[in-house]
Amino acid sequence: MKKRLWSAVLASTLALSACGSSDTNEDASNSEKKEDQQDVNVKAEVMDFQFSLTNTINDHDLPLYTYELAKLQEETPSEEELEQYKEEARMAASDVSNALEEVSVPDTLSEYEEELQAATNSLQDAYQAWGDNLSDEAGHAYEQYEASFKEAEEALGNVYVELGLTEPKLTKEVSDL
């Protein structure tokens, strides 16, 4: 009788300890799944943020490229037309810069806010510099624009690399030339 009682107690103890171990493993597994999901969410938020930047730029920058392309045509537009394109380009650059002010870093990306805000500010500076330095010269290099744009791309790229993502190429996403 005692053997049976001890056997029942031992079996119960083993069953309970196996259940307890299973719960611990489940908790660890659930915790890992939750962290993985949060990581995926952060990556998606960063990509959404980048898309909001590029969409904002693309919504306003066409007159800049129209002006630059007009200067490269074999038959250049008249001086009046070129001046009109230039004024529209100047306004577009200002519009891009102002619209980028409205793009804010989501709260879910607060850990990366400094870098993402730096990218946004550099993009604003880039377009402001482009508008301020429009040239009538075909093929003119906008060095200040390019330097600020590169800073923005690097700041955003640093966040991407930190998250294990491939660095974005903003130039390909916003350039119409």
Structure tokens at 32: 């890992």
> Which ranges constitute the DSSP H helices of the chain?
2-58, 62-72, 79-101, 113-132, 143-162, 170-174
C-alpha–C-alpha distance, residues 142 and 139, integer Å: 9
For residue 112, being part of any structural domain is answered with yes
What angle is formed at CA 59 by the lines to CA 42 and CA 89, rounded to 5 degrees? 130
Query: What domain count does the chain have?
Result: 1
Asked if the model's pLDDT at residue 5 lies above 50, the reply is: no
Q: Is the residue at 72 inside a domain? A: yes
pLDDT category of residue 112 using cuts at 50, 70 and 90: very high
3-state helix/strand/coil string of 94-112: HHHHHHHHCCCCCHHHHHH
Could you tell me if residue 168 is inside a domain? yes
| Domain-located, residue 2 | no
Mean pLDDT in residue range 16-21: 51
The answer to whether position 17 is within a domain reads no
Q: Which domain holds residue 103?
A: 42-174
Residue 102 lies in a domain: yes
Looking at every residue in the chain, the average pLDDT score rounds to 85
pLDDT digits (tens, 9 = 90+) for 121-159: 999 999 999 999 999 888 888 999 999 999 999 999 999
Q: Give the pLDDT of residue 39.
A: 74
* For residue 16, pLDDT beyond 70: no
Q: Each residue of 57-73: pLDDT tens digit?
A: 999 999 999 999 999 99
* Separation between Cα atoms, residue 177 and residue 172, nearest integer Å: 10
